[in-house]
Structure 1
Amino acid sequence: MNTEEFLDYDDLGDALREGRALRPARGYRFLLAQGDLNFQSCLVSDPVPLGRQLLEAGGLDLRDGYSLFAILPSGDFEDVRLNEPFDLRERGAERFVAFLTDRDFKLTLKDDELRWGKPIISGTVLYGLAKPGEGEAVFLEVAGGEDRLIEHGELIDLAQPGIERFITARLTFEIIVNSRPRTVNARTVTFEQIVQLAFPSQHEPNVVFSMTYRHAASMPHAGELGTGGTVDVKKKGTVFNVTRTVQS
Protein backbone atom coordinates (compact mmCIF):
# COMPACT_ATOMS: atom_id res chain seq x y z
CA MET A 1 0.00 0.00 0.00
CA ASN A 2 1.37 3.40 -1.02
CA THR A 3 1.20 5.68 2.00
CA GLU A 4 3.06 8.56 0.37
CA GLU A 5 1.15 11.78 0.88
CA PHE A 6 0.58 14.12 -2.05
CA LEU A 7 0.58 17.91 -1.75
CA ASP A 8 -2.24 19.82 -3.39
CA TYR A 9 0.45 21.45 -5.54
CA ASP A 10 4.17 22.13 -5.63
CA ASP A 11 5.63 25.36 -6.99
CA LEU A 12 8.42 25.18 -9.59
CA GLY A 13 9.80 28.54 -8.50
CA ASP A 14 10.02 27.47 -4.86
CA ALA A 15 11.79 24.24 -5.85
CA LEU A 16 14.35 26.15 -7.95
CA ARG A 17 15.06 28.74 -5.27
CA GLU A 18 15.38 26.06 -2.58
CA GLY A 19 17.55 23.84 -4.77
CA ARG A 20 15.34 20.79 -4.34
CA ALA A 21 13.45 18.31 -6.48
CA LEU A 22 9.74 18.64 -7.11
CA ARG A 23 7.65 16.94 -4.46
CA PRO A 24 4.85 14.46 -5.21
CA ALA A 25 1.75 16.58 -5.75
CA ARG A 26 -1.62 16.66 -7.45
CA GLY A 27 -0.55 19.74 -9.37
CA TYR A 28 2.56 21.70 -10.33
CA ARG A 29 2.50 25.48 -10.47
CA PHE A 30 4.40 27.40 -13.13
CA LEU A 31 4.27 30.90 -14.63
CA LEU A 32 2.93 31.62 -18.11
CA ALA A 33 2.85 34.89 -20.06
CA GLN A 34 1.11 35.59 -23.35
CA GLY A 35 3.32 37.72 -25.58
CA ASP A 36 4.55 39.97 -22.77
CA LEU A 37 6.06 39.80 -19.28
CA ASN A 38 2.79 39.64 -17.36
CA PHE A 39 3.18 36.18 -15.89
CA GLN A 40 0.21 34.35 -14.40
CA SER A 41 0.26 31.27 -12.17
CA CYS A 42 -0.98 28.07 -13.81
CA LEU A 43 -1.27 24.44 -12.72
CA VAL A 44 -0.66 21.16 -14.54
CA SER A 45 -1.26 17.75 -13.03
CA ASP A 46 1.68 16.01 -14.71
CA PRO A 47 5.33 16.91 -13.94
CA VAL A 48 6.15 15.88 -17.53
CA PRO A 49 3.40 17.62 -19.53
CA LEU A 50 3.14 18.04 -23.27
CA GLY A 51 3.75 21.57 -24.47
CA ARG A 52 0.08 21.83 -25.44
CA GLN A 53 -0.93 20.97 -21.88
CA LEU A 54 1.07 23.96 -20.61
CA LEU A 55 -0.82 26.21 -23.04
CA GLU A 56 -4.17 24.70 -22.10
CA ALA A 57 -3.38 25.25 -18.41
CA GLY A 58 -3.19 28.96 -19.23
CA GLY A 59 -6.54 28.90 -21.03
CA LEU A 60 -5.00 29.46 -24.47
CA ASP A 61 -6.63 28.08 -27.61
CA LEU A 62 -4.21 25.88 -29.56
CA ARG A 63 -6.02 26.73 -32.80
CA ASP A 64 -4.73 30.30 -32.58
CA GLY A 65 -1.24 29.15 -33.56
CA TYR A 66 0.82 29.80 -30.46
CA SER A 67 4.50 29.06 -30.07
CA LEU A 68 5.78 28.26 -26.59
CA PHE A 69 9.18 28.92 -25.07
CA ALA A 70 10.68 28.07 -21.69
CA ILE A 71 12.86 30.73 -20.10
CA LEU A 72 15.86 28.99 -18.58
CA PRO A 73 17.67 30.33 -15.48
CA SER A 74 20.44 31.62 -17.80
CA GLY A 75 17.88 33.82 -19.58
CA ASP A 76 18.02 31.72 -22.75
CA PHE A 77 14.84 30.65 -24.53
CA GLU A 78 14.17 26.97 -25.19
CA ASP A 79 11.59 25.94 -27.76
CA VAL A 80 8.84 23.82 -26.19
CA ARG A 81 7.27 21.58 -28.82
CA LEU A 82 3.53 21.31 -28.36
CA ASN A 83 3.28 17.56 -28.99
CA GLU A 84 6.38 16.52 -27.05
CA PRO A 85 6.85 16.09 -23.27
CA PHE A 86 8.69 18.76 -21.29
CA ASP A 87 10.13 17.46 -18.01
CA LEU A 88 9.52 20.12 -15.37
CA ARG A 89 11.63 18.11 -12.91
CA GLU A 90 14.86 18.42 -14.88
CA ARG A 91 14.82 21.52 -17.07
CA GLY A 92 15.11 24.23 -14.40
CA ALA A 93 12.41 26.38 -16.00
CA GLU A 94 9.71 28.15 -14.04
CA ARG A 95 8.58 30.72 -16.63
CA PHE A 96 7.07 30.12 -20.05
CA VAL A 97 6.04 32.59 -22.76
CA ALA A 98 3.48 31.91 -25.47
CA PHE A 99 3.20 34.21 -28.45
CA LEU A 100 1.76 34.42 -31.93
CA THR A 101 4.42 34.33 -34.65
CA ASP A 102 2.78 36.85 -36.99
CA ARG A 103 5.24 39.76 -36.69
CA ASP A 104 8.89 40.70 -36.27
CA PHE A 105 10.28 43.20 -33.79
CA LYS A 106 12.95 45.66 -34.89
CA LEU A 107 15.80 46.74 -32.67
CA THR A 108 19.16 48.40 -33.16
CA LEU A 109 22.23 46.88 -31.54
CA LYS A 110 25.57 48.69 -31.91
CA ASP A 111 24.14 50.60 -34.90
CA ASP A 112 23.11 47.36 -36.64
CA GLU A 113 19.39 46.90 -37.28
CA LEU A 114 18.10 43.48 -36.25
CA ARG A 115 14.76 41.72 -36.55
CA TRP A 116 13.72 39.48 -33.66
CA GLY A 117 10.89 36.97 -34.00
CA LYS A 118 9.70 37.22 -30.42
CA PRO A 119 8.22 40.14 -28.46
CA ILE A 120 10.65 39.38 -25.62
CA ILE A 121 14.43 39.22 -25.66
CA SER A 122 16.72 38.35 -22.78
CA GLY A 123 19.81 40.18 -21.61
CA THR A 124 21.74 36.95 -22.18
CA VAL A 125 20.81 36.97 -25.87
CA LEU A 126 21.69 40.67 -26.24
CA TYR A 127 25.11 40.11 -24.69
CA GLY A 128 25.67 37.13 -26.98
CA LEU A 129 24.79 39.20 -30.05
CA ALA A 130 26.67 42.35 -28.98
CA LYS A 131 29.86 40.65 -27.70
CA PRO A 132 30.90 43.62 -25.52
CA GLY A 133 34.59 44.09 -24.86
CA GLU A 134 36.43 43.78 -21.56
CA GLY A 135 34.84 46.08 -18.98
CA GLU A 136 31.88 46.88 -21.25
CA ALA A 137 28.18 46.16 -20.89
CA VAL A 138 24.96 46.46 -22.89
CA PHE A 139 22.73 49.46 -22.27
CA LEU A 140 19.30 50.54 -23.45
CA GLU A 141 19.79 54.00 -24.94
CA VAL A 142 17.36 56.47 -23.35
CA ALA A 143 16.88 59.65 -25.37
CA GLY A 144 17.29 62.70 -23.13
CA GLY A 145 17.97 60.54 -20.07
CA GLU A 146 20.44 58.14 -18.49
CA ASP A 147 21.09 54.96 -20.48
CA ARG A 148 19.88 51.88 -18.59
CA LEU A 149 22.19 48.98 -17.85
CA ILE A 150 20.88 45.64 -19.14
CA GLU A 151 21.44 42.68 -16.82
CA HIS A 152 22.26 39.23 -18.22
CA GLY A 153 19.19 37.55 -16.70
CA GLU A 154 16.82 40.41 -17.51
CA LEU A 155 13.88 40.07 -19.89
CA ILE A 156 13.03 43.02 -22.16
CA ASP A 157 9.61 43.56 -23.73
CA LEU A 158 10.31 44.80 -27.25
CA ALA A 159 6.67 45.77 -27.73
CA GLN A 160 6.95 48.58 -25.18
CA PRO A 161 7.47 52.14 -26.52
CA GLY A 162 11.09 53.22 -26.59
CA ILE A 163 12.54 49.69 -26.35
CA GLU A 164 14.48 49.64 -29.58
CA ARG A 165 18.08 50.91 -29.42
CA PHE A 166 20.82 49.07 -27.52
CA ILE A 167 24.47 50.06 -27.27
CA THR A 168 27.65 48.84 -25.62
CA ALA A 169 29.60 51.16 -23.36
CA ARG A 170 32.15 51.15 -20.58
CA LEU A 171 30.63 49.72 -17.41
CA THR A 172 31.00 52.28 -14.62
CA PHE A 173 29.40 52.64 -11.22
CA GLU A 174 29.40 55.92 -9.32
CA ILE A 175 29.80 55.43 -5.58
CA ILE A 176 30.48 57.66 -2.59
CA VAL A 177 33.41 56.80 -0.30
CA ASN A 178 33.82 58.95 2.82
CA SER A 179 31.74 61.72 1.19
CA ARG A 180 33.87 61.73 -1.98
CA PRO A 181 32.58 60.54 -5.39
CA ARG A 182 34.47 57.60 -6.83
CA THR A 183 34.09 55.43 -9.95
CA VAL A 184 34.50 51.65 -10.16
CA ASN A 185 34.27 49.41 -13.21
CA ALA A 186 32.57 46.38 -11.68
CA ARG A 187 29.25 45.86 -9.94
CA THR A 188 30.82 43.82 -7.14
CA VAL A 189 33.35 45.63 -4.97
CA THR A 190 35.51 44.24 -2.19
CA PHE A 191 36.28 45.51 1.29
CA GLU A 192 39.94 45.91 0.32
CA GLN A 193 39.07 47.85 -2.83
CA ILE A 194 36.96 50.36 -0.90
CA VAL A 195 39.69 50.75 1.74
CA GLN A 196 42.15 51.72 -1.00
CA LEU A 197 39.71 54.28 -2.37
CA ALA A 198 39.23 55.75 1.11
CA PHE A 199 42.90 55.66 2.14
CA PRO A 200 45.07 55.32 -1.01
CA SER A 201 48.40 54.47 0.60
CA GLN A 202 50.26 51.59 2.18
CA HIS A 203 49.05 50.69 5.65
CA GLU A 204 50.99 49.62 8.71
CA PRO A 205 50.11 46.22 10.26
CA ASN A 206 48.63 47.92 13.35
CA VAL A 207 46.07 49.85 11.31
CA VAL A 208 42.51 48.45 11.40
CA PHE A 209 39.64 49.53 9.17
CA SER A 210 35.90 49.30 9.75
CA MET A 211 33.28 49.94 7.10
CA THR A 212 29.56 50.53 6.72
CA TYR A 213 27.54 50.85 3.52
CA ARG A 214 24.04 51.81 2.43
CA HIS A 215 21.94 52.00 -0.76
CA ALA A 216 23.58 48.82 -2.11
CA ALA A 217 22.14 46.71 -4.91
CA SER A 218 22.67 43.45 -3.05
CA MET A 219 20.80 42.29 0.03
CA PRO A 220 20.93 43.58 2.65
CA HIS A 221 20.93 47.10 1.18
CA ALA A 222 22.79 48.45 4.22
CA GLY A 223 25.12 47.03 6.83
CA GLU A 224 28.73 46.44 7.79
CA LEU A 225 31.44 45.02 5.54
CA GLY A 226 34.47 43.17 6.87
CA THR A 227 37.79 41.91 5.58
CA GLY A 228 37.29 39.71 2.52
CA GLY A 229 33.66 40.81 2.14
CA THR A 230 31.98 41.96 -1.05
CA VAL A 231 28.87 43.95 -1.92
CA ASP A 232 27.04 44.72 -5.17
CA VAL A 233 26.70 48.45 -5.84
CA LYS A 234 24.04 50.37 -7.73
CA LYS A 235 24.74 52.21 -10.96
CA LYS A 236 24.83 55.40 -8.92
CA GLY A 237 24.55 56.28 -5.25
CA THR A 238 25.91 53.43 -3.09
CA VAL A 239 27.58 55.01 -0.05
CA PHE A 240 30.54 53.70 1.98
CA ASN A 241 31.96 55.08 5.21
CA VAL A 242 35.40 53.82 6.19
CA THR A 243 37.09 54.57 9.51
CA ARG A 244 40.78 54.01 10.29
CA THR A 245 42.00 53.01 13.75
CA VAL A 246 45.62 52.65 14.89
CA GLN A 247 46.02 49.94 17.50
CA SER A 248 48.71 50.34 20.10
Structure 2
Amino acid sequence: MNASDKHPTPCARHRFKVAVAKADFDFHALGVDVSKPTGRQLLEAGGFVPPEQHLIFQVLDDGTLEERRLDEPVELREEKEERFIVFRSDRSFRVEIGERRFEWGAAELRGSVAKRMVDADPDCTGVWLVRPGEPDLFIADTGVVKLSGTGVEKLRIGPVFPLCIEGKEFKWLEPTIVAEQIAELGGWDPSLGVQEVDLVTNEARTLKPKEVVHLKSTKAFAKKIGWRRG
Protein backbone atom coordinates (compact mmCIF):
# COMPACT_ATOMS: atom_id res chain seq x y z
CA MET A 1 0.00 0.00 0.00
CA ASN A 2 1.33 3.44 -0.92
CA ALA A 3 1.59 6.10 1.75
CA SER A 4 -0.96 8.17 -0.17
CA ASP A 5 -3.51 5.37 0.27
CA LYS A 6 -3.35 5.54 4.06
CA HIS A 7 -5.76 7.64 6.09
CA PRO A 8 -4.36 10.29 8.45
CA THR A 9 -4.53 9.35 12.12
CA PRO A 10 -6.57 11.55 14.48
CA CYS A 11 -4.60 13.12 17.30
CA ALA A 12 -6.44 15.11 19.97
CA ARG A 13 -3.35 16.81 21.43
CA HIS A 14 -2.76 18.96 18.35
CA ARG A 15 -3.70 22.62 18.40
CA PHE A 16 -5.46 22.89 15.04
CA LYS A 17 -8.08 20.57 13.61
CA VAL A 18 -7.88 19.57 9.97
CA ALA A 19 -9.92 17.00 8.04
CA VAL A 20 -8.70 15.54 4.76
CA ALA A 21 -10.40 13.35 2.18
CA LYS A 22 -9.89 11.97 -1.27
CA ALA A 23 -12.45 12.43 -4.06
CA ASP A 24 -14.98 10.30 -2.16
CA PHE A 25 -15.47 13.06 0.46
CA ASP A 26 -14.77 10.54 3.25
CA PHE A 27 -13.07 12.91 5.69
CA HIS A 28 -10.57 11.82 8.33
CA ALA A 29 -9.16 13.94 11.15
CA LEU A 30 -5.59 15.20 11.09
CA GLY A 31 -3.99 17.17 13.93
CA VAL A 32 -1.70 20.09 13.05
CA ASP A 33 0.41 22.30 15.34
CA VAL A 34 1.43 24.96 12.80
CA SER A 35 -0.96 27.89 12.33
CA LYS A 36 0.05 28.48 8.71
CA PRO A 37 1.16 25.18 7.17
CA THR A 38 1.92 25.07 3.47
CA GLY A 39 0.12 22.82 1.06
CA ARG A 40 3.21 20.61 1.04
CA GLN A 41 3.21 20.28 4.84
CA LEU A 42 -0.46 19.31 4.89
CA LEU A 43 0.08 16.67 2.22
CA GLU A 44 3.08 15.21 4.01
CA ALA A 45 1.26 15.21 7.35
CA GLY A 46 -1.58 13.28 5.74
CA GLY A 47 0.75 10.74 4.14
CA PHE A 48 0.17 11.99 0.60
CA VAL A 49 3.69 11.63 -0.75
CA PRO A 50 5.40 12.66 -2.81
CA PRO A 51 3.54 15.99 -2.59
CA GLU A 52 4.52 16.87 -6.16
CA GLN A 53 2.19 14.13 -7.42
CA HIS A 54 -0.84 15.49 -5.59
CA LEU A 55 -3.20 18.45 -5.64
CA ILE A 56 -4.80 19.80 -2.48
CA PHE A 57 -7.99 21.88 -2.37
CA GLN A 58 -9.40 23.70 0.63
CA VAL A 59 -13.16 23.49 1.21
CA LEU A 60 -14.25 27.09 1.74
CA ASP A 61 -17.07 28.25 4.02
CA ASP A 62 -19.53 28.33 1.10
CA GLY A 63 -18.62 24.75 0.10
CA THR A 64 -16.59 25.61 -2.98
CA LEU A 65 -13.06 24.28 -3.46
CA GLU A 66 -9.94 26.37 -3.84
CA GLU A 67 -6.62 24.87 -4.88
CA ARG A 68 -3.62 25.49 -2.60
CA ARG A 69 -0.12 25.52 -4.04
CA LEU A 70 2.59 23.41 -2.46
CA ASP A 71 4.44 26.49 -1.18
CA GLU A 72 1.31 28.45 -0.25
CA PRO A 73 0.67 29.02 3.49
CA VAL A 74 -2.84 28.11 4.63
CA GLU A 75 -4.13 30.00 7.66
CA LEU A 76 -5.84 27.71 10.19
CA ARG A 77 -8.27 28.78 12.91
CA GLU A 78 -8.30 27.18 16.35
CA GLU A 79 -12.08 27.40 16.66
CA LYS A 80 -12.84 25.81 13.28
CA GLU A 81 -11.99 22.56 11.56
CA GLU A 82 -10.61 23.21 8.08
CA ARG A 83 -11.35 20.61 5.41
CA PHE A 84 -9.23 19.65 2.41
CA ILE A 85 -9.68 17.37 -0.60
CA VAL A 86 -6.60 15.65 -2.01
CA PHE A 87 -6.16 14.19 -5.50
CA ARG A 88 -3.32 12.20 -6.99
CA SER A 89 -3.14 14.34 -10.11
CA ASP A 90 -1.06 16.94 -11.91
CA ARG A 91 -3.90 19.06 -13.32
CA SER A 92 -7.18 20.56 -12.19
CA PHE A 93 -10.57 20.87 -13.87
CA ARG A 94 -13.65 23.01 -13.43
CA VAL A 95 -17.29 22.06 -13.13
CA GLU A 96 -20.44 24.11 -12.55
CA ILE A 97 -23.09 22.55 -10.31
CA GLY A 98 -26.26 24.60 -10.25
CA GLU A 99 -25.07 28.19 -10.02
CA ARG A 100 -21.81 27.33 -8.26
CA ARG A 101 -18.46 26.73 -9.91
CA PHE A 102 -15.98 24.28 -8.43
CA GLU A 103 -12.38 23.38 -9.05
CA TRP A 104 -11.79 19.63 -9.16
CA GLY A 105 -8.64 17.55 -9.24
CA ALA A 106 -9.77 14.56 -11.33
CA ALA A 107 -10.94 14.03 -14.90
CA GLU A 108 -14.14 12.35 -13.68
CA LEU A 109 -16.82 13.31 -11.17
CA ARG A 110 -19.24 10.75 -9.74
CA GLY A 111 -22.93 11.64 -9.47
CA SER A 112 -23.13 10.95 -5.74
CA VAL A 113 -20.10 13.17 -5.09
CA ALA A 114 -21.60 16.04 -7.11
CA LYS A 115 -24.61 15.97 -4.78
CA ARG A 116 -22.40 16.00 -1.70
CA MET A 117 -20.51 19.01 -3.04
CA VAL A 118 -23.69 21.12 -2.91
CA ASP A 119 -25.24 19.39 0.14
CA ALA A 120 -28.12 18.01 -1.93
CA ASP A 121 -30.38 15.31 -0.48
CA PRO A 122 -28.76 12.00 -1.50
CA ASP A 123 -32.09 10.15 -1.75
CA CYS A 124 -34.45 12.69 -3.29
CA THR A 125 -32.30 14.62 -5.74
CA GLY A 126 -30.58 13.70 -8.98
CA VAL A 127 -27.83 15.07 -11.19
CA TRP A 128 -28.17 15.92 -14.88
CA LEU A 129 -25.43 16.88 -17.34
CA VAL A 130 -26.57 19.97 -19.23
CA ARG A 131 -26.26 19.40 -22.98
CA PRO A 132 -27.10 22.45 -25.13
CA GLY A 133 -29.30 21.54 -28.07
CA GLU A 134 -30.29 18.12 -26.71
CA PRO A 135 -31.98 16.68 -23.60
CA ASP A 136 -29.98 16.81 -20.40
CA LEU A 137 -28.39 13.49 -19.46
CA PHE A 138 -29.28 11.93 -16.10
CA ILE A 139 -26.22 10.85 -14.11
CA ALA A 140 -26.81 8.02 -11.64
CA ASP A 141 -25.11 8.05 -8.25
CA THR A 142 -22.53 5.57 -9.54
CA GLY A 143 -22.29 7.25 -12.94
CA VAL A 144 -19.49 9.62 -13.84
CA VAL A 145 -19.19 12.88 -15.74
CA LYS A 146 -16.11 13.28 -17.90
CA LEU A 147 -14.57 16.70 -17.35
CA SER A 148 -12.79 18.26 -20.31
CA GLY A 149 -9.60 20.19 -19.92
CA THR A 150 -10.80 23.27 -21.81
CA GLY A 151 -14.49 23.96 -21.18
CA VAL A 152 -16.58 23.90 -18.03
CA GLU A 153 -19.09 21.06 -17.75
CA LYS A 154 -22.43 22.18 -16.31
CA LEU A 155 -24.55 20.02 -14.03
CA ARG A 156 -27.98 20.72 -12.63
CA ILE A 157 -29.57 19.29 -9.51
CA GLY A 158 -33.25 18.39 -9.54
CA PRO A 159 -35.79 16.26 -7.67
CA VAL A 160 -36.08 12.51 -8.14
CA PHE A 161 -38.87 10.39 -6.73
CA PRO A 162 -37.99 7.35 -4.60
CA LEU A 163 -40.29 4.34 -5.04
CA CYS A 164 -40.66 1.15 -3.03
CA ILE A 165 -41.80 -1.72 -5.27
CA GLU A 166 -42.05 -5.11 -3.60
CA GLY A 167 -39.41 -4.12 -1.07
CA LYS A 168 -36.92 -2.79 -3.62
CA GLU A 169 -36.02 0.88 -3.98
CA PHE A 170 -36.17 2.66 -7.32
CA LYS A 171 -35.69 6.26 -8.39
CA TRP A 172 -38.15 7.77 -10.87
CA LEU A 173 -37.38 11.00 -12.71
CA GLU A 174 -40.93 12.29 -13.19
CA PRO A 175 -43.53 13.47 -10.63
CA THR A 176 -46.13 11.00 -11.96
CA ILE A 177 -46.11 7.33 -12.92
CA VAL A 178 -48.82 5.03 -14.31
CA ALA A 179 -49.68 1.53 -13.11
CA GLU A 180 -48.08 -0.19 -16.11
CA GLN A 181 -44.77 1.61 -15.52
CA ILE A 182 -44.76 0.46 -11.89
CA ALA A 183 -45.18 -3.14 -13.06
CA GLU A 184 -42.38 -2.79 -15.60
CA LEU A 185 -40.04 -1.38 -12.95
CA GLY A 186 -40.96 -4.20 -10.60
CA GLY A 187 -40.32 -6.80 -13.28
CA TRP A 188 -43.76 -8.33 -13.83
CA ASP A 189 -46.34 -8.32 -16.61
CA PRO A 190 -48.80 -5.42 -16.17
CA SER A 191 -51.66 -7.87 -16.79
CA LEU A 192 -50.98 -9.28 -13.32
CA GLY A 193 -52.17 -5.98 -11.86
CA VAL A 194 -50.66 -3.46 -9.46
CA GLN A 195 -51.62 -2.86 -5.86
CA GLU A 196 -50.82 0.30 -3.93
CA VAL A 197 -49.95 -0.57 -0.34
CA ASP A 198 -49.88 1.55 2.80
CA LEU A 199 -46.64 0.25 4.31
CA VAL A 200 -47.73 1.36 7.79
CA THR A 201 -51.19 -0.24 7.94
CA ASN A 202 -50.68 -2.82 5.15
CA GLU A 203 -53.96 -1.72 3.57
CA ALA A 204 -53.97 -2.14 -0.21
CA ARG A 205 -56.01 -1.13 -3.22
CA THR A 206 -55.74 -2.22 -6.84
CA LEU A 207 -54.79 0.43 -9.37
CA LYS A 208 -56.88 0.79 -12.50
CA PRO A 209 -55.20 0.30 -15.91
CA LYS A 210 -53.42 3.51 -16.96
CA GLU A 211 -54.13 5.05 -13.54
CA VAL A 212 -51.81 7.97 -12.82
CA VAL A 213 -50.05 8.05 -9.46
CA HIS A 214 -48.74 11.37 -8.17
CA LEU A 215 -45.40 11.02 -6.41
CA LYS A 216 -43.58 13.03 -3.76
CA SER A 217 -39.85 13.69 -3.70
CA THR A 218 -39.43 12.65 -0.07
CA LYS A 219 -37.99 9.63 1.68
CA ALA A 220 -41.03 9.62 3.98
CA PHE A 221 -43.34 9.00 1.00
CA ALA A 222 -41.29 5.97 -0.08
CA LYS A 223 -41.47 4.59 3.46
CA LYS A 224 -45.25 4.98 3.66
CA ILE A 225 -46.47 4.03 0.17
CA GLY A 226 -45.33 1.01 -1.85
CA TRP A 227 -46.52 -1.17 -4.69
CA ARG A 228 -46.79 -4.89 -5.39
CA ARG A 229 -48.25 -7.18 -8.01
CA GLY A 230 -51.84 -8.28 -7.65
Q: TM-score, normalised by structure 2?
A: 0.40
Q: Return the TM-score normalized by structure 1.
A: 0.38
